[in-house]
Amino acid sequence: MSNDNIHFEPNLISQYQKEYLTLINYYTQLTRNSVFVKYFNINLSSTYDDKLFSTYDRYNASDIKFDIYEYTPIYHIQAISNRSTYSEDKAGDVLEGVSSITVNTISRPRINDLIYFYSPIHSQEIFRVINFSTVSNMLHSDPPVNWYELDIEYAPIEDINNLTIFNHYIYDLSIEEYLTLEDYRTKLDNFNLISNILFSAKTFYNKNLDIYLTDDRYIPIDLNVMIFNLKTSSDLKSKYKKTLEQYPTPYGYTKYIDSVIAPYSTTLLEFNNKFLVYDLEEKLIIEYEFEDMKTPINDLENLILYGYQLMSF
């Protein structure tokens, strides 16, 4: 393809556009940690009573359900401005708070969606969407780009805890996607478990041999293989990147046990409490039998147990 014709390839240009915006969004969300909100998106199954004129009644008297999107990143936000206005149905002049934000992760915003700001905004004020606009050619490009500018004002409610919730999601910046609350909790549990295992195993890392071992002799194959996979697998690395950065990768295991890595695949049941260990002095692989995995009796058993626990990831 010549350089003269590259601009006439819409699919290629749209892909460039998607990659460019993804990169911008990532670093913007990463560095501007003050603009994350809890976004209450009205679920499509919600129903309204057409006779309800009051916006307050829509939140409190109608069958309205919300999908919560925790830590929704805001690409841009204008200053929240309080302005005075006269209200006929209230006691004279009141203050109205207005602002405008741009979101790129909510696929379908709706009028009357609710927005709650996280720290450092401590006002605890609740806003609602009163208008939105989007760049049409971006929304309908292939691949599409969700890009909405939302006008917001103070919502006529004081408590978000009594709203009816349909789905609950949390934005995971490491993969730039929303996870369900259950999946996110599972990921946090895995995150803490992996972090604790790697922290404990780090003391057994030998810099000269570039491997995890005990007694300067025994190399637990499970542990080294699993840590190597965690550190080099693109999928796992993206999920636990910050956790894994501070722990060394055991590249040295390939010098000693590379011949058994390819065919080696095991579970506890398959090996009947027996695990493979490489003996540096004898230069051979031995089967180590675990008497009781609940109570490891030495450092080698501790390292074997760490490797077994990491198999679940």
CB atoms within 10 A of CB 36: 18
Asked if the model's pLDDT at residue 280 lies above 80, the reply is yes
Residues 134 and 35 in one domain: yes
pTM of the model: 0.68
- What is the predicted pLDDT for the residue at 204? 94
Residues 117 and 76 in one domain: yes
Inter-residue contact 63 to 47 (CB < 8 Å): yes
Q: Is residue 198 part of a domain?
A: yes
Inter-residue contact 128 to 97 (CB < 8 Å): no
Q: Is residue 101 part of a domain?
A: yes
Summarised one tens digit per residue, pLDDT across range 68-104 is 999 998 877 887 777 776 666 555 556 677 889 888 8
User: pLDDT-derived band of residue 7, with 50, 70 and 90 as boundaries?
Assistant: low
Residues 105 and 207 in one domain: no
- What is the predicted pLDDT for the residue at 271? 46
Inter-residue contact 227 to 212 (CB < 8 Å): yes
Amino acid code (one letter) for 243: T
Inter-residue contact 148 to 134 (CB < 8 Å): yes
- What is the predicted pLDDT for the residue at 213? 93
- What is the predicted pLDDT for the residue at 41? 95
Residues 249 and 105 in one domain: no
Asked if the model's pLDDT at residue 268 lies above 60, the reply is no
Name the range with the highest mean pLDDT among 6-10, 263-267, 298-302.
298-302
Task: Tell how strand 36-42 and strand 65-77 pair up.
Answer: antiparallel
Q: Structure tokens of 117?
A: 């700001």
Q: Structure tokens of 63?
A: 């069958």
Summarised one tens digit per residue, pLDDT across range 20-50 is 777 766 665 555 555 789 999 998 887 665 5
Residues 33 and 133 in one domain: yes
Q: Tell me how many domains the chain contains.
A: 2
- What is the predicted pLDDT for the residue at 181? 95
Out of 53-67, 169-183, 277-291, 293-307, least confident range: 53-67
**Cα gap 312→84, rounded to integer Å:** 58
Asked if the model's pLDDT at residue 225 lies above 90, the reply is no
Question: In this predicted model, which residue has the larger pLDDT, 268 or 36?
Answer: 36
**Cα gap 196→192, rounded to integer Å:** 6
Q: Structure tokens of 296?
A: 């490891």
Task: Tell how strand 177-180 and strand 148-154 pair up.
Answer: unpaired
Name which of 266, 274, 269 is nearest 291 in CA terms.
Answer: 274
Q: Is residue 145 part of a domain?
A: yes
Q: Is residue 73 part of a domain?
A: yes
Residues 205 and 95 in one domain: no
Residues 167 and 190 in one domain: no
**Cα gap 209→43, rounded to integer Å:** 56
Question: In this predicted model, which residue has the larger pLDDT, 54 or 284?
Answer: 284
Name which of 30, 58, 218, 222 is nearest 129 in CA terms.
Answer: 58
What residue has token string 């609710």?
114
User: pLDDT-derived band of residue 240, with 50, 70 and 90 as boundaries?
Assistant: low
Q: Where are the beta strands (DSSP E) in 173-262?
A: 177-180, 205-206, 211-212, 218-220
Residues 231 and 292 in one domain: yes
Asked if the model's pLDDT at residue 4 lies above 60, the reply is no
Q: Which domain holds residue 145?
A: 6-173
Q: Collapse the DSSP code of 49 into the 3-class scheme (helix H, G, I; strand E, B; otherwise coil) and give the result.
A: coil
